[in-house]
Amino acid sequence: MAELRLVFQPAPDATMTVRVDFSSAESGMRGGGQPQPFTFQLHPEDYADIRWYLEEFMDLPIGGFVLRANHIEQSLIQWGHDLYKAVFDYGDHRDLIRDLMRAEPPRLLTIATSNSDILRLPWELMADERGALTRGDVTIRRQLETMRQNLAYDVGVPLRLLVVVSRPDNAGFIDPRHSTRAMLDALTSLGDNVTVEFCRPPTLARLEEMLDEANGAYDIVHFDGHGNYDRLLGLGVLAVRKSATARTGTR
């Protein structure tokens, strides 16, 4: 696997810098660039537009909504190109992204930082003059930069997966066919080596109950729903239903 890591660090003047590191297990190539200023940002109204476009527009794609959606689509394209330039518009960084795109798949682009504003950016939009980087079998992942090692985790057979599909009324709609179905399709090849259970109703109380009953037997808990970041607590939060009938709630 070839991996390009974008490592973000705060500068003394409270701005951010980005350093690009490349490694390829297949060729043995390694390389790194010098830290460079990173100034790209989106505003709260930009994130509101992205959320509306992904979660609400397809429910009613008519009339004036189409005009707003067309404007957002143009912005998505521009943001993708601007993100690319913000990272790779430097000589050594430009060479390293070319090394990644020339490598044999799989290719991995890792966003490594402890800054929530950086992690929040729509990195999947990143595009060069030929189009989105994901066109070339590039997987984009976000990773807390403070992580130092991957921990091994042994699982038995069958692999046990618990799925929580939560849609509180006040959080907007996400079509599960665009998320849960893709996950289930990816598990098809495992056959009898995987079992999938759903948390019904998808409340925190029911989730805790199922986890207690399983006594640690679940290998993976997959949450499909809304999340947010509580700056006062310094923690991420998930939106779950309060009860089987009352659908509004955040935990």
pLDDT in tens, 68-86: 999 999 999 999 999 999 9
Confidence at residue 167, expressed as pLDDT on a 0 to 100 scale: 80
- What are phi and psi for residue 220, nearest 5 degrees? -140, 135
> Residue 161 has which token pair?
């997966």
Q: What is the pTM of this model?
A: 0.67
Q: Give, in degrees to the nearest 5, the angle at Cα 176 between 181 and 218.
A: 65
Q: Give, in degrees to the nearest 5, the angle at Cα 183 between 139 and 251.
A: 95
- CA 111 – CA 160 distance, rounded (Å): 29
Cβ neighbours for 14, distance < 8 A, ≥ 6 positions apart: none
Least confident among 51-60, 135-144, 224-233? 224-233
- Give the Cβ contact number of residue 232 at 10 Å: 5
Dump pLDDT digits (tens) for 94-135: 999 999 999 988 889 999 998 989 999 999 999 999 999 988
pLDDT value at 202 more than 50? yes
**DSSP strand E in 93-187: where?**
107-113, 127-128, 131-132, 138-144, 159-165
Confidence at residue 173, expressed as pLDDT on a 0 to 100 scale: 62
- CA 40 – CA 42 distance, rounded (Å): 7
Higher pLDDT, 60 or 118: 118
Cβ(165)–Cβ(180) under 8 Å?
yes
- Give the Cβ contact number of residue 116 at 10 Å: 12
Cβ(163)–Cβ(199) under 8 Å?
yes
Q: Give, in degrees to the nearest 5, the angle at Cα 128 between 95 and 42.
A: 110
* Domains in the chain with CATH codes: 2-144 (no CATH), 159-238 (3.40.50)
Confidence at residue 248, expressed as pLDDT on a 0 to 100 scale: 46
- CA 244 – CA 202 distance, rounded (Å): 8
Distances (CA, A) of 44 to 26, 47, 48, 226, 232: 42, 5, 6, 17, 17
The total number of residues written for the chain in this structure: 251
Residue with tokens 């989106």: 42
- CA 99 – CA 131 distance, rounded (Å): 17
For the chain, give the mean pLDDT: 86
Residue 200 DSSP code: S
Confidence at residue 106, expressed as pLDDT on a 0 to 100 scale: 84
Least confident among 50-64, 67-81, 177-191, 201-215? 177-191
Sign of CA dihedral 142, 170, 245, 205: positive
**Alpha-helical regions (H) of the chain:** 44-55, 64-88, 91-102, 116-120, 180-187, 204-214
- Give the Cβ contact number of residue 159 at 10 Å: 15
Instruction: Tell me the pLDDT band of 224, cut-offs 50, 70 and 90.
Output: confident
